[in-house]
Chain A
Amino acid sequence: MDATGFDAWALTLAVFLPAVGALVMMAVPRARELELKMIALGASLATLAVGVYLLFAFDYGNAGTLQFGVHKGWIDAINADYILGLDGLSLPLLILSMVIIPLCVIYSWEHIPEPGNAKALLILMLILASGMNGTFVAQDLILFFVFFEVVLLPMYFMIGVWGGENRRYASLKFFLFTLFGSALMIVSFVALYFVATNDAGAALNTFNMSELAAAAGGDLARGTQAIIFAGLFMGFGIKVPMFPFHTWLPDAHTEAPTVGSVILAAILLKLGTYGFVRIALPFLPEGAAAWAPWIGLLAVIGIIYGALGCLAQTDMKRLIAFSSVAHMGFVMLGIATLTPIGINAAVFGMVAHGIITGMLFFLAGSVKERYHTLEISRLGGLLKSAPRMGWILAISAMASLGLPGLAGFWGEFPAILSAYEPGAGLSEGLFRTYMVIAAVGTVFAAGYLLWLFQRSAFGEPKPEWEGHTIADVNRYEWAAWTPLIIAMVLFGWVPGLIFGMVDDVSIGIAESISAAVGGS
């Protein structure tokens, strides 16, 4: 599977180009802001260029196997290797990450939040990019873990330094909460190393993810799998975040600076769901089958509960943050069904949520910048004060509520569909109940989003803004937002773009799960 020529370097470049950019920036003095911005933009665009190359060079007929593989020794003492690889599951998420970062850099051009220091903010963004890209292509558990953790610190600082009034609490909560999950996750990784066996019962003693996936739990007992799965569940579930581990999210989002929220919502949350699909399900099929009803339950609770949380919010940004809990509920419901269509829906949902909620957070940031508040009751008449921004909010809200013709629908509908017939011998009655609850959740989603839109964009502007000019979308915002809006519409009408990439992987995972569960 090891690639040759440029292909062998492509993924390494994709991962480390942003980090190189960050290193270069460190050498440039803080005062030369424009150069710093150019370097950051250049590095992120160069990374994106690699992504475009990958998109074209990717063999879609073989989307189920790892491509552009690299396999080198790394830490021999613990048998951890430097293994990268890209398949149809990683590809859409990697590209999403590669697209979001330059957009954030562009958006930051004139939006460096208090207390300033563009250099530090941009460097953190590039480090984040490396961590996120690495997570999506790492094929060794230790390497995956390192990348998974690398993103923590930059985000911690981003919230802690550039955040709102309550930033200390929020950043610490974010850090400790995720760290708590990570600690349990690494325990499971180590346990996998020691106890995972092949079908013959021989210990594998490897962190190589494709080998672990191929073993599919080997002859591990269902109980053992379930215990190890629990550790992974905590690690990934907190990141997603799943009810009831979601409370770090609204705080982190509310306090984070705009680009922080965007990156957090668009990509960081996906590390969790990606982990489920990439690691938890294929490595421990029976553990997954044992946990699936509970994951499904937490997912549908999250859908309704997140929506109710949204309805109770008075702050626009916090409302959008809560909506992530609901949306990720759909993603997790798809995963919990252990079916190809559910996993497809989950991946589509991840990308769609990344685009749409990222866009909504951009909007919230720009609204905050203009009104200096996100208190919904003080907003109003956005369509009148800044019509274009109002329109973009309308499209994004419609996409977020799952309107067909826009991207959000294709994460939601197939996820609900997949619950009709769950895989791996899961209870049909139970999942059909989940299906109906999830379908009810779509009404709630429409409720809180349209209510938000009505209160913030319809009507006349509030008297307190008389005399203020509310600037409409400026050119940096256009540059940062246009690709997202195009993506919303494009994926809404041509969903095959993503389903085509993911399907092979989903089929593989679902088959290996049903084989393992059926075989025991």
Chain B
Amino acid sequence: MDWILENAFLIPLIPAVSFLVILLGGRSVIGAERVHKVGITAVGIVWVLSMLAAVSWITRVEDSTSYKSDDAEHAQIAVNEGLSAASAGGLDGELHLAAEDDGHGADGGGYATTEPVISEVDGWWSSSGVDFAVGTLVDGQTVLLLIVVTSISLLVHIYSSEYVKGDRRFVHYYAFLSLFTASMLFFVMAQNLVQMIVGWELVGVCSFALIGHWWEERPNTDAALKAFLTNRVGDIGLLVGVIILFGTFETFSIDEINTKIGLASQGSGPHPEHFALLMASIALMAAVCSKSGQFPLHTWLPDAMAGPTPVSALIHAATMVVAGVFMIGRLYPVFFEGFSIGTSSINLMAFIGGFTALIGAGLAFAQWDIKKVLAYSTVSQLGYMVMALGVGAWTAAMFHLFTHAFFKACLFLGAGSVSHAAHHTFDMREMGGLRKHMPHTYKTFVISTLALAGVFPFAGFWSKDEILLGAYEGQEGAGSFLFLGQYPLMLIFGCVVALMTAAYMTRVIWYTFWGEYRGHGHPHESPKVMTVPLWILAVMAVVAGAFNLPTPVLEWAGLEGLAHLVQTYAEPTHYLNAIGLSHPPPSFWLALVGLGLALAGIAITFMYFWRNAGPHGLTERNRYAKAGYTFLEQKYYLDHLYTDIVVGSIKRPIARAANWFNDNVIDKVVNTAGEGARDSGRWIYRWIDQGTIDNTVNALGTGADSGGQGLRVMQTGKVQNYGSLLFGTAAVVAIVFVIVL
């Protein structure tokens, strides 16, 4: 049953092969108009494999849960686990037992831990006599991402076959979709940190290639470069963070690092230096900021919308941008200890997440481009996830990642459908009234908006509620501030963002689908190949919340068994139980507050647009309102700071100054030395050799001549002259050396 978990490398391998097939044989063998079938088939297979992996993993979790109660099975599973531990190579079996015997579910030992499945091959590379392995690590978190990535990728592959049809680079488009899928899948099953870096960078390259898909136009390539370079800035943090972790734990293995921290926090292993963990966490946060669009490195993400819209849905909303969130989740023990998440009431991660959520939501109000609204919304929602991780709500973050992937992909593909219909524009000022022309797009868009806004019972409601809950309840035994819980500021941020999200999304609905049509031509509904993926995603936007329902909701129906599925099956209990991560009990009141805020946001916007109430035209009348709006419009001037001031100064004055220094100072010394030697040679030759001593000191003259007029010697090409001169000089200096020393 565990076959697919142990051979998970097949999952990224299949789309990788598809990439090569499309790239090399796309035009010649397969035919340009048929390449999408290769891509769809490959991702389809991978989707099935991922589902199999999910089933295998759930079975595995069930087995390890029953292992607590059933002694006979205990032996059997112990053997199995022994094998997998052995295949993990160098992992100390005892460590695992120690962690398990503690049976330390913070919920009161609700479930046992389930070991991840690690398969690896030694000798990928080696240094100092240590072999570094390459392999796969599959656990609940990996499986969750496998499902998200393959599902969205499959739908985007299908949707694109119509959306990108007839594109100038249809073949390249599908090749890179496949490569992206492969890289992302490679990333989520990385067994060690170096592999993680590899996957991390490869998805970045695919993003670069797809943002710049229409590279004839300068703005697109500018956006692609901006994305890549901003991510490179974050990668400094990734490299440094990984290096610090390697320096601290002397291994790249994710499993070993997590396990060692777990043991330390249980007092049964040596404590890693807290300062090192803190520095590693800070450095890795920089990487998260760039990849997952967190303040202050989020600025590339809205520009990345220059790429084709299905790409925005897949890469810049549902999957690649959550790589940072995934990485935090993957190395959660590091961050948990490094930022003291369990005991603090504010920390860097929670603050960056919360603040990003807030500023992203703010910017979403000032956009006219529908994709940019969605992009800032993505920034904001990613901030929510990071904030969730920052307050210790691991499950809530991953659950939100899961639900967000579906409804945000649906919104992006919906925006694509709108643009497909309305003359290829994304400007909402040229839309309007589209609900009559494209009912399927409209309905799915509204459903996803409700999900994003967090309206009961749509998916976003459940996951957002858990994040607020996490901020409020925090970790067991941690302090509480007034009535605002462990992380008061995060709770406030979360609530404000909930309100804003509902409001800016309602604004989008108004401008796009209501009022009168303001664009050109006759808008029409998109074909089935586009609307069916929309409907599938919309259905997920409704039901995805069911994957982690709180127990009380299900109790009355007698379905408690189906509660907390994500928590039960996706959480890497093997690592998280050891650091004592707890799960807060559900709160009816908090859920009501979240829902109230969402409805209030919708209601306010509804009154403003539909009923024309409120301060219309305030930004024209009021100086301060106008300044505020401009500030938002200019995206807090961050782009100016980065592009014009930082990059501009490095590219122009600083680089030119360095070059001037090179040519006029360093090189000047060289040239002056050369000329000086030549001139002195001439002088000696003329005045001493020829003029004064002439024939008597031929040897000296030759020496000076050769030294100064090396040009002549070399041009005659007399190697012997040169050699003898060199040996002669060397011998003289060597003698000096011997005497001196």
Taking Cβ atoms with an 8 Å cutoff, the residues of A that contact B are 149, 153, 156-157, 172-173, 175-177, 179, 182-183, 186-187, 189-191, 193-195, 224, 227, 244, 247-248, 305, 308-313, 339-341, 344, 381, 383-384, 398, 403-405, 409-410, 413-414, 416-417, 420-421, 435-436, 439-440, 442-444, 446-447, 450-451, 454, 458-460, 494-496, 499-500, 503, 506-507, 510
User: Is the CB–CB distance between A499 and B125 below 8 Å?
Assistant: yes
Q: Which residues of B contact A416 (CB under 8 A)?
A: 239, 243
Q: How far is the CA of A422 from the CA of B729 in the complex (A)?
A: 37
16 contacts between A and B (CB under 8 A): A183-B730, A187-B737, A190-B730, A244-B666, A247-B670, A381-B216, A384-B216, A413-B197, A420-B243, A443-B233, A446-B229, A447-B229, A496-B124, A496-B126, A500-B123, A503-B126
B238: nearest chain-A partner, CB-CB: A439
Q: How far is the CA of A157 from the CA of B217 in the complex (A)?
A: 44
User: Is the CB–CB distance between A173 and B674 below 8 Å?
Assistant: yes
Taking Cβ atoms with an 8 Å cutoff, the residues of B that contact A are 123-129, 194, 197-198, 200-202, 205, 212, 215-218, 221-222, 225, 228-229, 232-233, 235-236, 239-240, 243-244, 246-247, 647, 650-651, 654-656, 658-659, 662, 666-667, 670, 674, 710-711, 714, 717, 719, 723, 726-727, 729-731, 733-734, 737-738, 741
Q: Which residues of B contact A413 (CB under 8 A)?
A: 194, 197, 239
Q: Which of A153, A190, A310 has the most CB of B within 10 A?
A: A190
Q: Which residues of B contact A510 (CB under 8 A)?
A: 128
A185: nearest chain-B partner, CB-CB: B730
Count: A-B pairs, CB below 8 Å: 182
Residue of A176, A189, A383, A496 near B674 (CB, 8 A) is: A176
User: Is the CB–CB distance between A420 and B244 below 8 Å?
Assistant: yes
Q: Which of A179, A308, A340 has the most CB of B within 10 A?
A: A308
Residue of A186, A443, A451 near B726 (CB, 8 A) is: A186
Q: How far is the CB of A509 from chain B (nearest CB, A)?
A: 12
Q: Which residues of A contact B726 (CB under 8 A)?
A: 149, 179, 182-183, 186
Q: How far is the CB of B706 from chain A (nearest CB, A)?
A: 11
Q: Which residues of B contact A309 (CB under 8 A)?
A: 655, 658-659, 662
User: Is the CB–CB distance between B128 and A503 below 8 Å?
Assistant: yes
Residue of B202, B236, B650 near A439 (CB, 8 A) is: B236
User: Is the CB–CB distance between B198 and A404 below 8 Å?
Assistant: yes
B655: nearest chain-A partner, CB-CB: A311
Residue of B126, B200, B217, B236 near A442 (CB, 8 A) is: B236
Residue of B710, B711, B734 near A194 (CB, 8 A) is: B734
Q: How far is the CA of A187 from the CA of B726 in the complex (A)?
A: 9
Residue of B221, B730, B741 near A459 (CB, 8 A) is: B221
User: Is the CB–CB distance between B730 and A186 below 8 Å?
Assistant: yes
A176: nearest chain-B partner, CB-CB: B710
Q: Which residues of A contact B229 (CB under 8 A)?
A: 443, 446-447, 450
Residue of B128, B659, B714, B737 near A172 (CB, 8 A) is: B714
User: Is the CB–CB distance between B127 and A446 below 8 Å?
Assistant: no
User: Is the CB–CB distance between B737 and A308 below 8 Å?
Assistant: no
Q: Which residues of A contact B200 (CB under 8 A)?
A: 404
A314: nearest chain-B partner, CB-CB: B659
User: Is the CB–CB distance between A507 and B128 below 8 Å?
Assistant: yes
With A191-B737, A344-B127, A436-B240 known as contacts, the answer to whether A313 contacts B221 (CB < 8 A) is: no
Which 9 A-B residue pairings sit nearest by Cβ, starting from the closest? A190-B734, A312-B659, A311-B655, A308-B658, A404-B198, A312-B655, A341-B127, A186-B730, A495-B125
User: Is the CB–CB distance between B215 and A459 below 8 Å?
Assistant: yes
Q: Which residues of A contact B667 (CB under 8 A)?
A: 247
Residue of A340, A404, A459, A494 near B218 (CB, 8 A) is: A459
User: Is the CB–CB distance between A414 and B659 below 8 Å?
Assistant: no
A414: nearest chain-B partner, CB-CB: B127
User: Is the CB–CB distance between B666 and A247 below 8 Å?
Assistant: yes
B215: nearest chain-A partner, CB-CB: A458
Q: How far is the CA of A172 from the CA of B670 in the complex (A)?
A: 12
Q: How far is the CA of A215 from the CA of B246 in the complex (A)?
A: 34
Q: Which residues of A contact B198 (CB under 8 A)?
A: 404-405, 409
Q: Which residues of A contact B243 (CB under 8 A)?
A: 416-417, 420, 435
User: Is the CB–CB distance between A499 and B127 below 8 Å?
Assistant: yes
With A190-B734, A442-B236 known as contacts, the answer to whether A404 contacts B658 (CB < 8 A) is: no
User: Is the CB–CB distance between B127 and A404 below 8 Å?
Assistant: no
Q: How far is the CB of B123 from chain A (nearest CB, A)?
A: 5
Residue of A195, A311, A436 near B651 (CB, 8 A) is: A311
Q: How far is the CB of B712 from chain A (nearest CB, A)?
A: 11
User: Is the CB–CB distance between A503 and B232 below 8 Å?
Assistant: no
User: Is the CB–CB distance between B246 and A420 below 8 Å?
Assistant: yes
B727: nearest chain-A partner, CB-CB: A186
B123: nearest chain-A partner, CB-CB: A496
User: Is the CB–CB distance between A507 and B129 below 8 Å?
Assistant: yes
User: Is the CB–CB distance between A495 and B730 below 8 Å?
Assistant: no
User: Is the CB–CB distance between B128 and A308 below 8 Å?
Assistant: no
A381: nearest chain-B partner, CB-CB: B216
B248: nearest chain-A partner, CB-CB: A420
Q: Which residues of B contact A454 (CB under 8 A)?
A: 221-222, 225
Q: How far is the CA of A149 from the CA of B719 in the complex (A)?
A: 10
Q: Which residues of B contact A435 (CB under 8 A)?
A: 240, 243
A413: nearest chain-B partner, CB-CB: B239
Q: Which residues of A contact B714 (CB under 8 A)?
A: 153, 156, 172, 175
Residue of B656, B710, B729 near A175 (CB, 8 A) is: B710
A460: nearest chain-B partner, CB-CB: B216
User: Is the CB–CB distance between B205 and A398 below 8 Å?
Assistant: yes
A186: nearest chain-B partner, CB-CB: B730
A244: nearest chain-B partner, CB-CB: B666
Q: How far is the CA of A510 from the CA of B726 in the complex (A)?
A: 33
Q: Which of B127, B128, B225, B738 has the most CB of A within 10 A?
A: B127
User: Is the CB–CB distance between A442 and B738 below 8 Å?
Assistant: no
Q: Which residues of B contact A173 (CB under 8 A)?
A: 670, 674
Q: How far is the CB of A387 from chain B (nearest CB, A)?
A: 10
Q: Which residues of A contact B655 (CB under 8 A)?
A: 308-312
Q: How far is the CA of A442 from the CA of B234 in the complex (A)?
A: 11
With A194-B734, A311-B655 known as contacts, the answer to whether A440 contacts B674 (CB < 8 A) is: no
User: Is the CB–CB distance between B658 and A312 below 8 Å?
Assistant: yes
User: Is the CB–CB distance between A403 and B225 below 8 Å?
Assistant: no
Q: How far is the CB of A137 from chain B (nearest CB, A)?
A: 21
Q: How far is the CB of A81 from chain B (nearest CB, A)?
A: 17
Q: How far is the CB of A490 from chain B (nearest CB, A)?
A: 13
Q: Which residues of B contact A403 (CB under 8 A)?
A: 201-202, 205
Q: Which residues of A contact B647 (CB under 8 A)?
A: 447
Q: How far is the CA of A311 from the CA of B658 in the complex (A)?
A: 10
Q: Which residues of A contact B666 (CB under 8 A)?
A: 244, 247
Q: Which residues of B contact A183 (CB under 8 A)?
A: 726, 729-730
Q: How far is the CA of A274 from the CA of B723 in the complex (A)?
A: 23
Besides A179-B726, A420-B243, A450-B228, 18 more A-B contacts (Cβ < 8 Å) are A157-B717, A172-B711, A177-B670, A194-B737, A227-B741, A244-B666, A247-B670, A313-B659, A413-B197, A421-B247, A436-B240, A440-B236, A454-B222, A454-B225, A459-B221, A499-B126, A503-B128, A507-B129
Q: How far is the CB of A374 from chain B (nearest CB, A)?
A: 17
Residue of B125, B201, B717 near A496 (CB, 8 A) is: B125
User: Is the CB–CB distance between B127 and A503 below 8 Å?
Assistant: yes
User: Is the CB–CB distance between B128 and A187 below 8 Å?
Assistant: no
Q: How far is the CA of A182 from the CA of B730 in the complex (A)?
A: 10
User: Is the CB–CB distance between B129 and A503 below 8 Å?
Assistant: yes
User: Is the CB–CB distance between B659 and A308 below 8 Å?
Assistant: yes
Q: Which residues of B contact A172 (CB under 8 A)?
A: 674, 710-711, 714
Q: Which of A224, A405, A494 has the most CB of B within 10 A?
A: A405
Q: How far is the CB of B172 from chain A (nearest CB, A)?
A: 10
B661: nearest chain-A partner, CB-CB: A305
B216: nearest chain-A partner, CB-CB: A460
A312: nearest chain-B partner, CB-CB: B659
Q: How far is the CA of A507 from the CA of B127 in the complex (A)?
A: 8
Q: Which residues of B contact A420 (CB under 8 A)?
A: 243-244, 246-247
B200: nearest chain-A partner, CB-CB: A404
Q: How far is the CB of B141 from chain A (nearest CB, A)?
A: 22
Q: Which residues of A contact B217 (CB under 8 A)?
A: 459
Q: How far is the CA of A421 from the CA of B654 in the complex (A)?
A: 31
